[in-house]
Structure 1
């Protein structure tokens, strides 16, 4: 099943969606999550049922806000080492978090998702984008940036 079909299936019945971008903007491709959120915010989409959060490297700081917003769906976007080609995108099953490399954050994302889901009934997915480099740099590499824009277009097509 293609990424687009999987995302469409996940968002099929969404009423309120939060997209949470995670990553370090000073480490090239690791900043792809915040990069995507900034681009989505720049789109100036007027919809009370959408919220874009740039969580940077501290997603745990936004658990209260996420719970208060009471979304039906949450998408977490981050760079992660999955053994794919740079720029490849994949929906990662939360049970597979243990097998992928997400290490720039103060709290593990698997623990973060478990905490978020406790006492709530919204759906959560994690979208990983394979980085080319996580060296110091102020923007994603060309391949990862291209994927970021493709993801934004797919998401807009589904939710708007």
Structure 2
């Protein structure tokens, strides 16, 4: 299956979707999650059944808000070291990412997800985008930015 069809299948029948962007906006490609959230906000993508959260490097600060919203589906978007080509995008499902540390951040997203799952029932996927660089810089590299826009357009097609 392809990324596009996997994402469409995941989103089938969602009632309330939270898209959580994770990353450091001052470290080039590491900020791809927040970059995507900010672009979606600029395009008025947030609706009654879609909540966008730019968690930056502290997703754990949003557990209360996520639990209050009671989502049926959650997508976490972050730069992810997968040994792929810069800009490659992959869905890592819950069973896989809970068992491995794939995020570029020190706080394990698997603990974050396990904490949320103790009190809620929802579907979750992690969308990882391979970074080219995580040096200081305010914008993603061209390959990563192109992937970010491709993902945004795909989301629009799946959700709207």
The TM tier, using the shorter chain, reads over 0.9
Runs of 4+ in 1 over 4 A off after TM superposition: none
Report deviation, 1:139.
0.7
> Does the Cα contact within 8 Å between 1:81 and 1:100 map onto a contact in 2?
no
> What corresponds to 1:23 in structure 2?
23
1:8-55 residue CA offsets vs partner (Å, 9 max, x unmatched): 010001011000000000110000000000000000136200100000
The reply to whether residue 81 of structure 1 matches residue 58 of structure 2 is no
Structure 1, gaps ≥5 residues long:
none
Report deviation, 1:62.
0.2
What is the TM-score normalised by the length of structure 2?
0.95
Report deviation, 1:133.
0.5
- RMSD of equivalent CA atoms: 1.2
> What corresponds to 1:126 in structure 2?
126
Q: How many residues align?
A: 159
Cα distance in 2 between the residues matched to 1:46 and 1:144: 23
Structure 2, gaps ≥5 residues long:
none
What is the TM-score normalised by the length of structure 1?
0.95
